[in-house]
Structure 1
Amino acid sequence: MDNISTELLFTLLACLIIISGYFSGSETGMMSLNRYRLKHLSNQGHKGAKRVEKLLARPDRLIGLILIGNNLVNILASAIATIIGMRLYGDLGVAIATGVLTLVVLVFAEVTPKTLAAIYPERVSYASSLLLRVLMKVLAPLVILVNCITNGFLRLLGIKSLSNKADHLSSEELRTVVNEAGSLIPSRHQDMLVSILDLEHVTVDGIMVPRNEITGIDVNDDWKSIVRQLTHSPHARVVLYRDQIDEVVGMVRLREAYRLMLEKNEFNKQTLLKSADEIYFIPEGTPLNVQLIKFQRNNERIGLVVDEYGDIIGLVTLEDILEEIVGEFTTSMAPSLAEEITPQPDGCYLIEGSANIRDINKGLQWSLPTDGPRTLNGLILEHLQDLPETNISIMIAEHNMEVIEFSENKIKMVKVHPIQ
C-alpha cells in the first residue's frame, strides 16, 4: 500500500463505495418487488423478470451473495480509508477516517441507494440481476459454504432454512389487494370481486325469502282457484303444498304448466302434480359460496331452506346469490333498498322494519350487527326483548333508532337519527 499514491487510494475508495451502494440497492430492490407482478411478467416472457425470479428461487443464496459482496467491499473500504487518514493526519487520522467513512457509507452506500431501490424496485432489480447472475456463478462455492454454515446454526436453534415457499393469500389479504388496486381495476369490478370473497361469510339464512313470504299454491284448493293463481303468479316457479307450506309436494314451472294448458284437453290436479319437479332442500347455515357450487352441480336454480327439525324456513334462488355479487336485478319482485329507505332533510332516515340489515349496511355504509336477526325489525326486537310501543328509542351500534309505526306484532317503520 505504501507504493500506491493517495490519489489512487481515493479513487479506489470511491469505487468501493459505489460498489457497496450497488449491493445495498440490489438487496432492497429484490426484497421490495411485488412477487405477483413479478410472476405475471415472467409468465409474459419478460427477460428481466425471469432472471430475478430465478435468483429469488433461493432467497438464502441471493442474500448470502449480496452480503458477502457488501461486507468484502466495506471492509476493504475501511482499510483504505484508515491508510488515507494516517497518511494525512497521523494517528488521529484513524478516528477521522472512521467518522467520515461512516457518514459517507450511510449516505451514499446505504440510505440513498436503498431509498431509490424502494421507490423503483423493478428498474433496480432487473438491471442488477445481470451482474448478480454472473457473481452467483463465480462465487457459488463461497456462497454455498456460507449458507451451509448459517443453515447449520439455524437448525441448532430449531429454525428451518429459508426456502422459496409459494406465497399464498388468504381471503382477507386478497380483499386488501383488490381494494388497493385503485384505478387499475374499475370500482364496479372491485365491488364484485369483494362480494365474491364475502360469499363465504354469508349463509343462505341471510338472503332467503322468509317462510311467511313464500308464494305457493295449496293443491287442496278448488281447481278454478289453482288455475287463477297459476295464471297470475309473478314467479317462474311456484311451490305446491297441501294445507301448509311444510307439506310440500313439488315445484311447478309455469312455462310447463302453460304448455300443458294448451296441449292437454284435460288439465287437472293430477296432471299438474305429475308435471311438478321434486323439491330441492337446502340446510340452514349453508355458506353462499358452497350453495352456489351445489346449485351448479345439481343443476338446480331454486331450493327450500330447512332447519334442523326439517321445517321449511325460507326459499333461496340462484338469482339471490348472483345479486350478492353483481347487485340487484331490475326484474326482482322484492322491494329495492331505495324503496325501503327514505332520507329526510334533517339527516335522518325512515327505514321499513322489513329491510334487510346487510342491505342497509351496504347502502348506507353502516355497521349494524349481522350475526343475529336478518331484518331491522328483528334486530330491534332482539335488543328490546319485548314488543315495543311507538316513539320508543333505542341505541344500536351508535345509531339512535326510534320506532315510528308498530302493528301486527311487527315494527313497520323506524326513524334512524344521524350519529352525533
Structure 2
Amino acid sequence: MVSCTRVEGTLQAYIDGELGDSDRAIFEQHVAECESCRDSLRTQQRANATLFAVFADDRLDAPLRYRVLAHLPMMEVMPRDSDSVVDLINERAKNPRTTWVLVGRLMPAAAIAILVFVTLVLYNYSETHDLGNVTSIGMVTNAFGDALLVPGDGPMSQPAELQKLITRGDRLETRRGSFLMVSLTGPTSVKIGSSTSLRVTDARNISLERGKIWLDVGRDGKLFRVNTPRGEVTVFGTCFSVSYVNELTTVTVERGEVQVETDQEFCALEAGQRAEVSGDGALSEPSAVDAKIENAWARVITPDPLAESAFNSRVQVTSPAAEMPSRSVYVVDTFGGTVSSLRIYWQPSAEAEPADFRSYDLYVLGENGEPIVHRRLQSSKFAAPGASSLDIPLDTPISGMKSIEIRLVPDYLTGSTELKDVEVKADVLMKTGS
C-alpha cells in the first residue's frame, strides 16, 4: 500500500487532474481506506475552492503562453557555410543532439526571461486592478453624489467610488445631498446619510462623528459598537439607526436589541424603541417610536448588484450564521434582601499570558430590566497567576428586589482570552423577622 507521505505530496496534482490513470487509481484506493488522508484531501479542496472564489475577479482573461513566447530570446542555429537544405538535413542527421545541446545552454537565460516577464505582467495587472488584501474589512457597495474616503494612513482624500476597499482607520464623509453604503465583514451593512462623517476602527467598531447612519449588524460571534461624542451603542445583532446632530445622539431600534450608555448611565432598547443622549450626557428613558418611519430615508439606499457580488467574493469570509455569544447573562435570586457586593468565579487558565485576557463590562439590571450599576472590569483583575474569583463591592447596596440580572460583556478590542466556566454570585443580607 502506498504511504501517506506520498499521497499528501500528490494532493494538488490529483485535484488538478494531473495524475496518470494508474497513479490516480492508487491514490483513490488509499484515500478510500485512510481517514487522515481523506480529511487532508477535503481540506485541500476547500482551500482551492476558497482561493478560486476570492480571486475570481482577478484571473487573467487570456493565457500567458503566447505573450511569454513572444519575449523569449531567439535561438538561431545556422553555423554552416552552406545554405543548401540538403546539407542542413545531412548535418542534423549526423549530429541529432546539436539543437538540444544549444537549447539546454539557453535554458537558464530563458528561465530568467520568463520570470522577469511574468513579474512585470502581474505588477502591471495589479496596478490597474484594485485587488483585495488581508487588511480589507469592507467595500463601498453604493455611492451617490459627493462622497469621500480618507485613508487611515494618510491625509489625502479620494472619491468613495463603487467597489472601493475599506481598511481599518478609514474615514468616510458625505456632503449635502449625497449618500453611501458600505458592507463590512460579518456581514454588516452601513447606510450613511448626507452630511455625515464616520471612522471605521475595525469591522466591529465604528465612530460616528456627525450625521446619521443605519446599520444591519451581522451575527459573526462578536459585539458591534458604535461610538459618538456623547455616548456608546453596544449591539447584540440587530437593525437600528444612530444620529448625532447638534450634540444630540439618537438611537432607534428596528429589530433586535441594543444597549446605549454614557459615562454614568445605560439602558437597553428593543425593537420599536428610541433613546437620546443630550449634550450634557443625560440619557433619556426608552420611548416608543415607529422605527420604520423614522428610518425610511435608509430604504432608498440599496447595494449595487455588481459591487455586492464583488464584496461577497473578495472581502466577505463566508461562514455559518451564528448567534452572538457577545454577553453572558446571569439571574441571581436575592429574595428581597440587600446586595452589598458581587463575586465572579471562573476556571483559571494555565496557558494564557496576563496580557492575553480581555476586559469586561459588567451591567446590573433590576427584576424589571431597569439599569442599576455599570462597572468596567479591567483585564488586569483576571490576570494574576492562579486567580479564579473577583469581588466587586457595590457603592450603593441593592435592596427590595426578588432577583437581579447581571450581564458580562467582553471587550473584543482588548486581549484574546475570555473567562471560562463563569459563575456569578451575590452577597445578600436577609431581613430579620420583627
TM range (shorter): under 0.3
Q: Which has the larger radius of gyration?
A: 1
> TM-score scaled to structure 1, two decimals?
0.26
> TM-score scaled to structure 2, two decimals?
0.26
Higher percent of residues as strand: 2
